[in-house]
Amino acid sequence: MSFGRKFTFTRLSYHSGDWDTDQRMPANILNSLLEYTTIPIDTKEKVVALSSPDVFNYPFCYLSGHKLVQFDEQERANFKKYVQNGGFVFVDDCNHDIDGLFAKSFEAQMTQLFGSNALKKIPNNHPIYKAFFTFEKGPPNTSFELNGWGDDLVHDYLKSIEINGRIAVLYSNKDYGCEWDYDFRNKRFLAEDNTKFGVNIVVYAMSS
C-alpha cells in the first residue's frame, strides 16, 4: 500500500445503498486540520470505488450511508485486504440507529469478513480520545442524539475492529457526518467547534 505525503479525505463508494452523504462535511474537516494541525492536506475530497485497486493508495477512508450495505465479492475482498494492510476506515451510520438498516447490514458485513466478535466497544480511555484534543468522557455527543432522533438513544461508545493493536475500522452510530455537514465558515457561530473530534480521528489514523 503506497501512502502519499498529503492527507486526502477519501470517501468510499459502494454498489449498494447510498454512500454520497453529508457533502459539506469533508471540507469542514479539512479546514479543521488546516486550522489546528500542521498535517499537509489535499484540499479536495477524493471519491474512490471500494471495488477499485485505487483504494490501496489512501491510508484513510470514510464510508457512510442510510440504507443497505451489501458488498459484492470484489468490495469484500478489497475492504478486508485494505484494513489488514494498514488502512483505516471511519464508518458512520447516518441513521444514528443501532437497529436501522445501515447498522444491521454493515455489522453483518463485518461479521462475515472478520468474525462475530470483531466489532467491539472502544473504552473511553482509548488513545483516540487523546490523539490531539482530549475527550475525557469518550466520544462527544451529537445534536441528533440529544434531540431524540433515530433510536432516541445517546450512544456513549464507538466500536472498532482492531488489527495488530490498532484501530483499523472505526464505527459510529452517532451520525458525526450530519453533525459536521455545514459550511466551515459557520464554525465561528458555535460555542465549541464540534469538528475537533474529527481532527482526533484523522490524527490517530495517520499516526497509528
Q: What is the pLDDT of residues 87-142, one digit of tens each?
A: 999 999 988 778 889 999 999 999 999 999 999 999 999 999 999 999 999 999 88
Tell me what the mean pLDDT of segment 48-52 comes to.
98
Give CA–CA dist 108/160, Å, rounded: 14
In a domain, 2, yes or no: no
Scan for cell 472502544, then name that residue.
Answer: 122
Residue 172 has pLDDT above 90, yes or no: yes
Give CA–CA dist 8/78, Å, rounded: 19
In a domain, 30, yes or no: yes
In a domain, 174, yes or no: yes
Tell me what the mean pLDDT of segment 24-44 comes to.
95
Question: What CATH number is given to the structural domain containing 28?
Answer: 3.40.50.12140
Tell me, what's the pLDDT at 1? 42
pTM above 0.85, yes or no: yes
Contacts of 70 (CB under 8 A, 6+ apart): 15, 16, 17, 105, 109
Give CA–CA dist 162/188, Å, rounded: 36
Print the domain residue range for 47. 10-207
Tell me, what's the pLDDT at 149? 61
In a domain, 131, yes or no: yes
Q: CB count, 10 Å around CB of 54?
A: 13
Give CA–CA dist 55/167, Å, rounded: 18
- Predicted confidence band of residue 4 (pLDDT cuts 50, 70, 90): very low
In a domain, 130, yes or no: yes
* Structure confidence by residue, pLDDT tens digits, 138-154: 999 888 776 656 666 77
Number of domains composing the chain: 1
In a domain, 5, yes or no: no
In a domain, 1, yes or no: no
In a domain, 3, yes or no: no
